[in-house]
Amino acid sequence: MQTTNDITTRLQGAVKKREALAAQVERLRGRLEEAQTNLAAVEKTCRDKNIDPDRIDEAIDKLRARYESAVSKLENDLSAVQEALTPFDN
């Protein structure tokens, strides 16, 4: 049979754990609020640029395709310039 001191010790441990968990919940609430604020700011930035935040993946794919196309065009243009300069280099 447990003594009153054992039960009191267990109760104190439980109270400390409860307080620690309550503090953790508060920290997590703060982090959630911060994340929600950041999400709202990002969504606003997207909307300001006429990008639907719910379709951001499509916008990223379009931008990636445009980027790849621009890099390919630059590489082709540089090759054309290099070929045009070749006769003068000899």
What local confidence, expressed as pLDDT, does residue 81 receive?
Answer: 96
Are residue 78 and residue 46 in the same domain, yes or no?
A: no
Are residue 45 and residue 1 in the same domain, yes or no?
A: yes
- Could you tell me how many helices (H) and strands (E) the chain has, helices first? 2, 0
Are residue 33 and residue 75 in the same domain, yes or no?
A: no
- C-alpha distances out from residue 3 to 9, 11, 21, 46, Å: 10, 12, 27, 64
Are residue 9 and residue 41 in the same domain, yes or no?
A: yes
Q: Summarize pLDDT for 47-90 with one digit per residue, the tens.
A: 999 999 999 999 999 999 999 999 999 999 999 999 999 988 87
Q: Alpha-carbon distance 79 to 75, whole Å?
A: 6
Are residue 12 and residue 25 in the same domain, yes or no?
A: yes
Q: Alpha-carbon distance 48 to 74, whole Å?
A: 30
Is the pLDDT confidence value at 2 over 90?
Answer: no
pTM more than 0.75: no
